[in-house]
Every structure is written in structure tokens, then in C-alpha cells.
Amino acid sequence: MTFPLDTIFYVGEAIGVLAFTVAGVLAGVRKRLDAVGVVVIAFLTALGGGTLRDVLLDRRPFFWVAHEEWVWVVIVLGITGSIFMRARHFEPTFRAIQWPDAIGLGLFAASGTQIALDAGSTPLIATLMGVVTAAFGGMIRDILVNDIPWVVASYQLYAIIAFAGGWLVWLIGALGAAPALAVGIGAIAITLTRMLAIVFNWQLPNWRINDHTGVINLPN
């Protein structure tokens, strides 16, 4: 039994929206925002990257415009999550935010890359569109909660995993596999790699700062 590619994209983006919504709710609660603030953060985290991708690709309608039900899902999860965690005095940790975020990263990077490829983009542009889809919502979230976006400032393997995963999606398709298979393998590979990076704290090379002289040296 085969499923239409549009159905597979819908399912993938829906799961990604749920994962990024949870990450956004946890981030908003962690900053002690009110229910409205949590909903705004969750909405932008879940849908900001895909919206920017569609703007750049001139793709209409936007996912959340065509599927209004997911706007309601974000609103309900934002309000109920905020109320529940505040009532239970739940304090989300930064690590707790990273797990659902890893799922959203894999799904959005893979599907975003394939959507761009289907729109006629070159492999490089399509891969970058996958990164935009996966990472831009989180960057908006961090800016709004007054943090330097950790995607670009924490030395974690994040955007680079999405970038490599996008090339994997293109390569699998170039070898003749169906787009659905390419997206599925790419999403799983990106998500698992990101989770391993979280568990083992894999990071990009960091700066070393000499506290006495203020000189910044690269690690050996």
C-alpha cells in the first residue's frame, strides 16, 4: 500500500509541528511567560521556519493557513501546557526542551529539503531551505525570550546536522529512491544524530579565553 507524497508531507510536518510546539511551550514556561506569551512562542517555534521557507519559495498557501486545525492544536497545547506546568510548579530544564526539538529538527529539515527539491531548487538551495525550515523558528523563539539564539551560539551540533541531513535526502533521491523514502531516512538520521549529540555532548570547537590577558585562542 502506497501513500501520496502530499499525505506523507502532511504527516511529517504535523508531527514536526507537535514536537516544536512542545519545545516552544517548555521554553515559554521556563521563562515564566503568561499563557498568551507561551502560545506566541509555541506558534513561532512550530510554524515560523516553515512559513519563511514557503515565503522564499513563493509557495502558497502556508501550511498553517491550509490546515487551520494545527493552529488550534498550538493554541490548546500552549494554554493547557502553561496552566498545567504552572499549577504543578514544573520547572522545564534546557535539556528537556532539546528532546522534542530534536524530533522537529529531523522532520522539518528532511521535509523542507524535499519540498524545495520538488519546487525545482538546486541541491544546495534545497538543503539550506531544510535548515531554514528546521532552525528559524527556534531562532525567533530565543530572540523573543531575550536569549542569544543557541542554534548559532552554543557550539552544539544542530544546524550542521540539518545541513548534512538535507544532503542525505538529496543523495537518496538522486540514487533513484522515492521521495517519501528519502524524507523518511533523512528524518530518522537527523533526529538520531541530534539525540546522540545531546547524550554525548558533541560540540563544535569552542573558543578558549585567557582570563588574565583577555586573549581568545582556538583550542588545539
Residues 94-108: tens digit of each pLDDT: 788 899 999 999 999
Higher local confidence (pLDDT), 153 or 108: 108
Give me the amino acid identity at 5. Answer: L
Q: How confident is the model at residue 216 (pLDDT cuts 50, 70, 90)?
A: very low
| pLDDT tens for each residue of 6-25 | 777 788 888 999 999 999 99
- Residue in 125, 100, 131, 136 with CA at minimum distance from that of residue 21: 100
Provide the pLDDT confidence category of residue 205 given band limits of 50, 70 and 90. confident
Q: CA angle, 128 as apex, 124 and 129 as ends, to 5°?
A: 115
Is residue 207 within 8 Å of residue 218, measured between CB atoms?
A: yes
Q: What percent of the chain has pLDDT over 90?
A: 63
Q: Are 81 and 29 in contact (CB under 8 A)?
A: yes
Contact 130, 113 (CB under 8 A): yes
Q: What is the average pLDDT score of the chain?
A: 87
Highest mean pLDDT among 92-96, 150-154, 190-194: 190-194
- Do strands 208-209 and 216-217 pair parallel, antiparallel, or not at all (unpaired)? antiparallel
The C-alpha cell 528532511 sits at 110
- What's the pLDDT band for 171 if we cut at 50, 70, 90? very high
Determine the residue type at 44.
L
Q: What H or E segment, with its residue span, contains residue 81? A: helix 69-87
For 148-164, what is the mean pLDDT? 86
Q: How far apart are CA 85 and CA 189, in angstroms?
A: 32
pLDDT at 86: 80
**How far is CA 205 from each of CA 72, 105, 154, 198, rounded to the nearest angstrom?**
41, 22, 10, 16
Rounded to whole angstroms, the Cα distance separating 103 from 101 reads 5
Residues 30, 22: contact at Cβ < 8 Å? no
Compute the average pLDDT of residues 25-36: 92
Residue 151 — pLDDT band, cuts 50, 70, 90?
confident
- Cell 538546486 appears where? 122
| Residue 220: per-residue pLDDT | 38
Give ∠ CA 29-30-33 in degrees, rounded to 5. Answer: 45
Mean pLDDT of 67-77: 93
Instruction: Specify the higher pLDDT residue, 188 or 145.
Output: 188
Q: What pLDDT is recorded for position 47?
A: 94
Q: Average the pLDDT over 195-219 and give the result.
A: 67
Alpha-carbon distance of 25 to 214, in angstroms, equals 38
Maximum mean pLDDT: which of 11-15, 117-121, 205-209: 117-121
pTM value? Answer: 0.87
The confidence score (pLDDT) of residue 139 equals 92
Phi, psi of 154 (to 5 degrees): -105, -5
* Closest by CA position to 92, among listed 102, 103, 81: 81
